[in-house]
């Protein structure tokens, strides 16, 4: 049976999305102490500077991801950036390219907004996430956005090509 997935903008307070985010929160709470989980709640995800997407696999909620546009800061030498947030693919839906497609969707949204820098913070023990980000061209960097460099987090950056082709550059 062929399975297909679709990625589209979604409201973060949609009941299926809220359930998926609650699943993500439980997972993160099982890995890290509360002060090490830097989670945007449903209200923050609905802010105008956030673009939120959901992935559905054969109509079923399979994953989600958001990107938050941020002003420049000292850690980015004043350059505005997009921060990848709330990225998750349900374990039983993994291995189908959903995570990579969600990430490309976020990057495309940043390019549309003429933002050429994507940053993210993830947990060092989230090996699948780290592999996904590194395979997509994200490279380690120093802490940003006021995150503490607590030894639990890994910070990544990717430069996005804003030329007419719009494809990601390393």
Decide: pTM greater than 0.85.
yes
- The class that CATH gives domain 5-159 is alpha beta
Contact partners, residue 39, CB within 8 Å, separation at least 6: 25, 28, 86
Q: What is the mean pLDDT of each successive set of 10 residues along the chain, which is 170 residues long?
A: 83 95 93 86 94 96 97 95 96 95 98 97 94 97 93 96 60
- Domains of the chain by residue range: 5-159
Q: Coil, strand or helix: which one is 60? A: strand
């Amino acid at each position: 049976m062929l399975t297909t997935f679709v990625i589209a903008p979604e409201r973060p307070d949609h009941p299926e999305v809220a359930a998926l985010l609650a699943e993500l929160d439980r997972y993160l709470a099982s890995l890290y102490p509360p002060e090490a989980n830097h989670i945007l709640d449903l209200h923050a995800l609905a802010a105008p500077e956030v673009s939120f997407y959901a992935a559905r696999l054969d109509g079923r909620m399979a994953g989600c991801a958001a990107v938050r546009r941020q002003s420049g800061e000292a850690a980015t030498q004043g350059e505005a950036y997009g921060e990848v947030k709330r990225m998750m693919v349900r374990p039983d839906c993994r291995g189908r390219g959903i995570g990579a497609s969600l990430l490309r969707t976020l990057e495309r949204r940043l390019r549309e907004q003429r933002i050429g820098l994507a940053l993210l913070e993830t947990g060092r023990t989230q090996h699948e996430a780290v592999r996904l980000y590194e395979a997509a061209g994200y490279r380690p960097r120093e802490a940003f956005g006021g995150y503490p460099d607590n030894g639990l987090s890994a910070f990544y950056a990717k430069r996005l090509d804003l030329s007419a082709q719009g494809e990601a550059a390393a």
